């Protein structure tokens, strides 16, 4: 990939990836009702269900104690105040105080109940997402930009947890309080209650429209957030290239464009919410004014007691918060629903089924020695492959590979850049699945091996060596977690990674993100050590020595020869010096193996091979001079 390194990485919105509105083809993106999306969170919230219900109960009781206040007020106005009975006032005033205290305490309790278990729910959701991302095939990761995954694992999960902690509880509680309060208003005076409720009808219609618009805007904002994360991630990872090519301005422009788009969407959301809010606050206010005027007339005609009017108005006022909150509660629910949708889009992605080991019968040899000589080693039979996103009408990248690598043999794979060498090697550890044909290891189809077995048998080192933020030791031992110090030392020796001793803390030196603090050649040698430390039976090396100087390469090769003598190896090679390490060479061209033989044989018999090698060797010769 390094050869076609592009100074300006493709922007997520332009690339053919699931981001803003570009997932239309996947079955998961069928719009679900917000309620159904949110219901899918239930299995995760289950664990905390008693807490959530308890919290609802506490909040409900607190709100009901607020609704009890008007009743007490009516008692005060129609009783002690109307009769100028100061002594009768005290118990009722005390009741008001108790109700106020109860409300405050219950709200406090609700907070305490719900906070911690929901943090756990979020942790579980996040853990499951991470595990899923690890299991999904490479082809999934080829398609999905990392920022989209990152934003799902962070901001979307946060929104989902917050929804379970507050809006969910209040949606339930406030609806209950609203219904109770409405019943109470009707029992106090049905005429005033009707007047107060008139705006409810247009509000309901308006709210439904709001919900649809707001859901769409939330989804867009979350996708744009993911695009933004991708831009940030790429500019941080690619900082050297951006600086070297002076493209940081382009990237900053890119960032500004994405963040402006996100800002516009957020403003649209705020606008929608603001309009709803204005309607929800304004209309009931008018209705309340009308109810007050009507009430005053009724009191004047002695058809209503002053106490009842006071009680009615304070009930209506107590319902203000439940009603006003509906706007942002629905907004939040819509946001949580689309966050849940985004989460489950990833969780619903099909995983490669891990085929259980086949019965040890025909075609399977528990010990390599059991297989007929012809079947031993690595065998590709009629293997075809094309990338899922390859343009239609193009021929398959691999169009019928037939290749046998004999046990203990080292076979070099050569071919022009882009001929599919890396792809072919990626089929062996099953990073991709062939679209046709089969690959066998000592006669056993690799699909009949469990992933663990396969990973134990086959070790790989890629051209682009990836190191993790961990110590040198941890990075190398990823290849064989149980290897002892001796084997570790031998692997480092083989890979000529003596430079490790000169690192500040030797094997325990932390190598930075992607091993950036090491040179390319040093990283390659650690990756090579990782591949050989497990002393695998089958070794796949994708041009593992490309970043080494010729002298070091020769040393590595000599050491590799010893390792490779017991190992069946497929080595992608560019330089004649690497090819010389191999017993035989196979030439990949036009999706097929067009020639197999020793280096000398192919030099004599195959013009294409000669051309490929001479180009390289001439260049090397020129450089040497």
Ligand X SMILES: Nc1ncnc2c1ncn2[C@@H]1O[C@H](COP(=O)(O)OP(=O)(O)O)[C@@H](O)[C@H]1O
Identify whether the C-beta of residue 412 lies closer than 8 Å to the C-beta of residue 585: yes
φ and ψ of 439, to 5 deg? -125, 130
**Smallest separation, CB 390 to ligand X (Å):** 6
Identify whether the C-beta of residue 517 lies closer than 8 Å to the C-beta of residue 506: no
**Smallest separation, CB 398 to ligand X (Å):** 9
| Distances in whole angstroms, Cα of residue 563 to Cα of each of 207, 409, 425, 457, 558 | 71, 11, 19, 15, 9
Residue range at the interface with ligand X (CB under 6 A); choices 102-110, 416-424, 526-534, 611-619: 416-424
Options 382, 418, 498, 615; binder of ligand X; rule CB under 6 A = 418
Which structure tokens are listed for 475?
Answer: 């990075």
Options 421, 490, 525, 574; binder of ligand X; rule CB under 6 A = 421
Q: Residue 122 and residue 154: Cα distance in Å, rounded?
A: 10
Which helix or strand (DSSP H or E) is residue 572 part of?
A: strand 568-572
Question: Would you count residue 431 as binding Mg ion (CB under 5 A)?
Answer: no
Question: Would you count residue 419 as binding ligand X (CB under 6 A)?
Answer: yes
**Smallest separation, CB 578 to ligand X (Å):** 14
Question: Would you count residue 423 as binding ligand X (CB under 6 A)?
Answer: yes
| Distances in whole angstroms, Cα of residue 75 to Cα of each of 72, 99, 305 | 5, 15, 11
Question: Would you count residue 295 as binding ligand X (CB under 6 A)?
Answer: no
Q: Residue 181 CA to chain centroid, in angstroms?
A: 44
Options 11, 146, 155, 422; binder of ligand X; rule CB under 6 A = 422
Bridge-partner residues for 572, per DSSP? 413, 542
- Residue 407 binding result from Mg ion, ligand X, none, given CB thresholds of 5 to 8 Å by partner type: none
Which residue lies nearer to ligand X by CB, 137 or 213?
Answer: 137
Question: Would you count residue 464 as binding Mg ion (CB under 5 A)?
Answer: no
Which residue lies nearer to ligand X by CB, 259 or 422?
Answer: 422
Q: Residue 504 and residue 186: Cα distance in Å, rounded?
A: 80
Q: Residue 311 and residue 72: Cα distance in Å, rounded?
A: 8
φ and ψ of 363, to 5 deg? 80, 5
Which residue lies nearer to ligand X by CB, 319 or 602?
Answer: 602
| Distances in whole angstroms, Cα of residue 104 to Cα of each of 110, 171, 305, 480 | 10, 19, 31, 59
| Distances in whole angstroms, Cα of residue 394 to Cα of each of 292, 385, 426, 519 | 77, 12, 21, 38
Identify whether the C-beta of residue 120 lies closer than 8 Å to the C-beta of residue 164: no
Question: Would you count residue 415 as binding ligand X (CB under 6 A)?
Answer: yes
Which residues touch 481 (CB under 8 Å, ≥6 apart)? none
Residue range at the interface with ligand X (CB under 6 A); choices 227-235, 246-254, 419-427, 466-474: 419-427
End-to-end CA distance of the chain: 29
**Which residue, judged by CB position, is nearest to ligand X in the bound state?**
422
Q: Residue 192 and residue 194: Cα distance in Å, rounded?
A: 5
**Smallest separation, CB 387 to Mg ion (Å):** 14
Q: Total number of residues binding ligand X (CB under 6 A)?
A: 12
- Residue 537 binding result from ligand X, Mg ion, none, given CB thresholds of 5 to 8 Å by partner type: none
Options 354, 389, 508, 590; binder of ligand X; rule CB under 6 A = 389
Residue range at the interface with Mg ion (CB under 5 A); choices 50-58, 217-225, 286-294, 418-426: 418-426
Q: Residue 295 and residue 292: Cα distance in Å, rounded?
A: 5
Q: Residue 7 and residue 239: Cα distance in Å, rounded?
A: 10
**Smallest separation, CB 463 to Mg ion (Å):** 6
Question: Would you count residue 416 as binding Mg ion (CB under 5 A)?
Answer: no
CA dihedral 438, 444, 446, 447 (to 10 degrees): 80
- Residue 145 binding result from Mg ion, ligand X, none, given CB thresholds of 5 to 8 Å by partner type: none
Options 181, 327, 377, 420; binder of ligand X; rule CB under 6 A = 420
Q: Residue 551 and residue 519: Cα distance in Å, rounded?
A: 16
Q: Which of 350, 291, 332 is nearest to 135 (CA)?
A: 350
**Smallest separation, CB 394 to ligand X (Å):** 9
Options 422, 435, 471, 509; binder of Mg ion; rule CB under 5 A = 422
Residue range at the interface with Mg ion (CB under 5 A); choices 350-358, 419-427, 483-491, 547-555: 419-427
Question: Would you count residue 517 as binding Mg ion (CB under 5 A)?
Answer: no
Count how many Cα atoms sit within 13 Å of the Cα of residue 481 in the half-sphere of its side chain: 2
- Residue 419 binding result from ligand X, Mg ion, none, given CB thresholds of 5 to 8 Å by partner type: ligand X
Question: Would you count residue 199 as binding ligand X (CB under 6 A)?
Answer: no
**Smallest separation, CB 147 to ligand X (Å):** 18
Which residue lies nearer to ligand X by CB, 420 or 534?
Answer: 420
| Per-residue buried b or exposed e for 73-112, using 16+ beta carbons within 10 Å of the residue's own CB | bbbbbbebbeeeeeeeeeebeebeeebeebbeebeebbee
**Smallest separation, CB 146 to Mg ion (Å):** 22
- Residue 417 binding result from ligand X, Mg ion, none, given CB thresholds of 5 to 8 Å by partner type: ligand X
> Read out DSSP for 433-462?
--SEEEEEETTEEGGGS-HHHHHHHEEEE-
Which residue lies nearer to ligand X by CB, 308 or 423?
Answer: 423
Question: Would you count residue 146 as binding Mg ion (CB under 5 A)?
Answer: no
> Read out DSSP for 473-542?
HHHHHTT-TT--HHHHHHHHHHTT-GGGGGSTTGGGPEE-GGGTTS-HHHHHHHHHHHHHTT--SEEEEE
Question: Would you count residue 16 as binding ligand X (CB under 6 A)?
Answer: no
Residue range at the interface with ligand X (CB under 6 A); choices 11-19, 125-133, 221-229, 412-420: 412-420
**Smallest separation, CB 135 to ligand X (Å):** 18
**Smallest separation, CB 18 to ligand X (Å):** 15
Which residue lies nearer to Mg ion by CB, 224 or 419?
Answer: 419
Identify whether the C-beta of residue 280 lies closer than 8 Å to the C-beta of residue 322: no
- Residue 277 binding result from Mg ion, ligand X, none, given CB thresholds of 5 to 8 Å by partner type: none
Which residue lies nearer to ligand X by CB, 25 or 417?
Answer: 417
**Smallest separation, CB 142 to ligand X (Å):** 4
Options 397, 454, 586, 593; binder of ligand X; rule CB under 6 A = 397
Question: Would you count residue 417 as binding ligand X (CB under 6 A)?
Answer: yes
Which residue lies nearer to ligand X by CB, 389 or 402?
Answer: 389
- Residue 265 binding result from Mg ion, ligand X, none, given CB thresholds of 5 to 8 Å by partner type: none
Build a one-symbol-per-residue string for 112-151: x at contacts with ligand X by CB under 6 A, - elsewhere. ------------------------------x---------
Which structure tokens are listed for 32?
Answer: 């679900």
Which residues of the shown chain bind ligand X in the complex (CB under 6 A)? 142, 387, 389, 397, 415, 417-423
Which residues of the shown chain bind Mg ion in the complex (CB under 5 A)? 422
């Amino acid at each position: 990939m390094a050869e076609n390194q592009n100074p300006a990485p493709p922007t997520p919105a332009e690339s053919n990836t699931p981001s803003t509105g570009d997932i239309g083809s996947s079955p998961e993106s069928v719009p679900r009702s917000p309620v159904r999306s949110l219901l899918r969170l239930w299995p995760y919230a289950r664990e905390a269900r008693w807490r959530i219900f308890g919290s609802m109960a506490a909040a409900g009781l607190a709100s009901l104690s607020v609704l009890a206040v008007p009743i007490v007020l009516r008692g005060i106005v129609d009783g002690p105040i109307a009769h100028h009975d100061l002594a009768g006032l005290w118990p009722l005033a005390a009741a008001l105080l108790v109700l106020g205290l109860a409300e405050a305490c219950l709200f406090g309790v609700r907070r305490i109940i719900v906070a911690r278990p929901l943090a756990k729910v979020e942790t579980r959701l996040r853990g499951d997402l991470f595990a899923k991302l690890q299991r999904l095939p490479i082809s999934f990761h080829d398609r999905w930009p990392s920022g989209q995954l990152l934003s799902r694992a962070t901001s979307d999960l946060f929104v989902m947890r917050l929804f379970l902690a507050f809006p969910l509880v209040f949606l339930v509680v406030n609806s209950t309080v609203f219904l109770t309060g409405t019943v109470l208003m009707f029992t106090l005076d049905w005429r005033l209650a009707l007047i107060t409720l008139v705006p409810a009808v247009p509000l309901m219609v308006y709210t439904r429209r709001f919900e649809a618009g707001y859901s769409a805007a939330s989804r867009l904002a979350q996708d744009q957030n993911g695009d933004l994360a991708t831009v940030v991630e790429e500019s941080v990872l690619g900082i050297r290239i951006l600086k070297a090519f002076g493209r940081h301005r382009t990237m900053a422009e890119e960032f500004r464009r994405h963040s402006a788009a996100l800002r516009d969407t957020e403003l649209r959301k705020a606008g929608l919410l603001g309009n709803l809010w204005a309607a929800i606050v304004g209309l009931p206010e008018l209705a309340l004014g009308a109810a007050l005027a009507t009430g005053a007339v009724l009191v004047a005609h002695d058809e209503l007691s002053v106490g009842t009017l006071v009680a009615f108005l304070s009930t209506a006022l107590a319902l203000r918060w439940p009603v006003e909150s509906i706007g942002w509660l629905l907004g939040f629910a819509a946001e949580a629903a689309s966050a849940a949708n985004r989460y489950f889009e990833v969780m619903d992605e099909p995983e490669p089924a891990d085929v259980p080991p086949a019965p040890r019968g025909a075609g399977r040899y528990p010990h390599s020695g059991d297989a007929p000589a012809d079947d031993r080693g690595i065998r590709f039979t009629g293997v075809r492959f094309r990338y899922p996103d390859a343009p239609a009408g193009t021929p398959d990248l691999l169009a019928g590979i037939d290749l046998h690598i004999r046990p203990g043999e080292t076979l070099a794979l050569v071919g022009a850049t882009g001929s599919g060498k890396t792809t072919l090697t990626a089929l062996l550890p099953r990073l991709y699945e062939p679209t046709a044909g089969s690959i066998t290891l000592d006669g056993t189809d690799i699909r009949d091996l469990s992933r663990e077995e396969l990973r134990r048998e086959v070790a790989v080192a890629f051209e682009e060596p990836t190191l993790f933020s961990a110590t040198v030791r941890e990075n190398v031992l990823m290849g064989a977690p149980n290897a002892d110090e001796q084997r570790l030392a031998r692997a480092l020796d083989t890979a000529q990674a003596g430079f490790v001793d000169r690192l500040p803390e030797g094997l325990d030196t932390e190598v930075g993100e992607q091993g950036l603090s090491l040179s390319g050649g040093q990283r390659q040698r650690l990756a090579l050590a990782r591949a050989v430390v497990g002393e695998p039976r089958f070794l796949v090396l994708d041009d593992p020595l490309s970043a080494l100087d010729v002298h070091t390469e020769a040393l590595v090769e000599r050491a590799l020869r010893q390792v490779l003598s017991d190992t069946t190896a497929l080595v992608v090679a560019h330089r004649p010096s690497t090819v010389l390490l191999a017993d035989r060479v196979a030439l990949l061209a036009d999706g097929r193996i067009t020639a197999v033989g020793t280096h000398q044989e192919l030099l004599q018999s195959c013009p294409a091979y000669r051309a490929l090698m001479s180009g390289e060797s001439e260049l090397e010769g020129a450089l040497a001079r």
